């Protein structure tokens, strides 16, 4: 059973999607800790509702970035986390934390990367006039939303869309592809070569295993 650590700053609907998949026994994982940099993040309530341990690490308590990140790292290690899942975590992590979990940290982003990285991306997509946007799950590297892409989902941008309606349509896809990416990781089906992430076919993998 894979031990997950989830970092979230907000509502935690992606966290909920992962909790639900675990509860439905579709993900062979256990969330060991939910960490937030916001005391009032609803994600913390969602975690508590499911008996998941929580930690709050704020920049008010740890104003020096290195000390803040050391706390995050310590909390993840103390909980025995094997895969770090950033689910609406709105703070950049320092290279030290990222290096502590090489190719064992994922993020979800509400656009088709590399288009529209950073913040307010649904608004940027509407303003630019793209006809399609979507969601991306990627491994985290030291850049902003630049890590190797694991899965993407495409959604149409409608003439009638507002930031809210487009965000809602994208979020529904996020809730589908984030658990899927974690499942592929659990099944050891992800191979990273440079920027590219290859997804092994389970049948091919089974043949290779049998030949060993
Ligand atoms: C999602 O749109 C995610 O892609 C972005 O922040 C939002 C978090 O939503 N990084 P939630 O907290 O999971 O509801």
**Can you give the CATH number for the domain in which 1 is found?**
3.40.50.170
Mark whether 149 and 95 lie in a shared domain. Answer: no
How many residues in the chain?
212
Compute, in degrees rounded to 10, the torsion defined by CA atoms 150, 154, 157, 161.
-70
Mark whether 78 and 171 lie in a shared domain. Answer: no
Work out whether the CA dihedral 123, 128, 134, 135 comes out positive or negative: negative
Q: Which of 66, 101, 136 is the last residue of a domain?
A: 101
Q: What is the DSSP string of 91-102?
A: SPPPHHHHHHST
Cα–Cα distance for residue pair 151/167, rounded to 1 Å = 18
Does this model's pTM top 0.85? My answer is yes
Q: What residue ranges of the chain have pLDDT lower than 50? A: none
Mark whether 147 and 75 lie in a shared domain. Answer: no
Whether 50 is catalytic: no
Mark whether 45 and 6 lie in a shared domain. Answer: yes
Cα–Cα distance for residue pair 154/131, rounded to 1 Å = 10
Mark whether 78 and 134 lie in a shared domain. Answer: no
pLDDT of residue 154: 98
Mark whether 10 and 40 lie in a shared domain. Answer: yes
Please tell me whether residue 165 adopts helix, strand or coil conformation. Answer: helix
Q: Residue 160, class by beta-carbon neighbours within 10 Å (0-12 exposed, 13-18 middle, 19+ buried)?
A: exposed
pLDDT of residue 142: 96
Range of the domain at 94: 1-101
Mark whether 119 and 151 lie in a shared domain. Answer: yes
pLDDT of residue 204: 65
Cα–Cα distance for residue pair 22/16, rounded to 1 Å = 10
Q: How many structural domains comprise the chain?
A: 2
Q: Residue 144, class by beta-carbon neighbours within 10 Å (0-12 exposed, 13-18 middle, 19+ buried)?
A: exposed
Q: Are 11 and 42 in contact (CB under 8 A)?
A: yes
Of ligand 1's atoms, which has the minimum distance to the CA of residue 109? 4
Of ligand 1's atoms, which has the minimum distance to the CA of residue 10? 12
Mark whether 136 and 78 lie in a shared domain. Answer: no
Mark whether 114 and 209 lie in a shared domain. Answer: yes
Q: Which of 67, 101, 135 is the last residue of a domain?
A: 101
pLDDT of residue 181: 98
pLDDT of residue 207: 66
Residue 88 falls in which region: left (phi positive, over 0), alpha (psi -120 to 50) or beta: left
CB 171 near ligand 1, within 6 Å = yes
pLDDT of residue 102: 96
Specify the residue with its C-alpha closest to ligand 1, atom 14.
13
Mark whether 150 and 165 lie in a shared domain. Answer: yes
Q: Which of 101, 132, 155 is the last residue of a domain?
A: 101
Cα–Cα distance for residue pair 150/137, rounded to 1 Å = 6
Mark whether 119 and 80 lie in a shared domain. Answer: no
Q: Of 182, 8, 201, which is closest to residue 105 (Cα–Cα)?
A: 182
Q: Tell me the CA distances in angstroms from 113 to 64, 121, 164, one per residue in order.
A: 31, 10, 20
CB 10 near ligand 1, within 6 Å = yes
Most ligand 1 atoms within 8 A of CB, residue of 88, 113, 178 to mutate? 88
pLDDT of residue 212: 66
Mark whether 93 and 14 lie in a shared domain. Answer: yes
């Amino acid at each position: 059973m894979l031990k997950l650590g989830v970092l979230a700053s907000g509502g935690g609907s992606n966290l909920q999607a992962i909790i639900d998949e675990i509860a439905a026994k579709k993900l062979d994982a256990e969330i060991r800790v939910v960490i937030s940099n916001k005391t009032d993040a609803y994600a913390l309530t969602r975690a508590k509702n499911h008996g998941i341990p929580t930690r709050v690490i704020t920049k008010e308590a740890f104003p020096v970035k290195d000390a803040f990140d050391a706390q995050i790292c310590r909390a993840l290690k103390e909980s025995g986390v094997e895969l770090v899942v950033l689910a609406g975590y709105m703070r950049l992590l320092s290279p030290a934390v990222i290096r502590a979990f090489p190719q064992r940290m994922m993020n979800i982003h509400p656009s088709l990367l590399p288009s529209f990285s950073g913040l307010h991306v649904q608004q940027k997509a509407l303003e630019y006039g793209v006809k399609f946007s979507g969601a991306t799950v990627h491994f985290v590297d030291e850049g902003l939303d630049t890590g190797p892409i694991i899965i993407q989902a495409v959604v149409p941008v409608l003439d009638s869309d507002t930031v809210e309606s487009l965000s809602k349509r994208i979020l529904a896809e996020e809730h589908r592809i984030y658990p899927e990416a974690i499942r592929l990781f659990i099944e050891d089906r992800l191979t990273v070569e440079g920027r590219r992430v290859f997804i092994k076919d389970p049948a091919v993998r089974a043949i290779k295993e049998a030949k060993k």
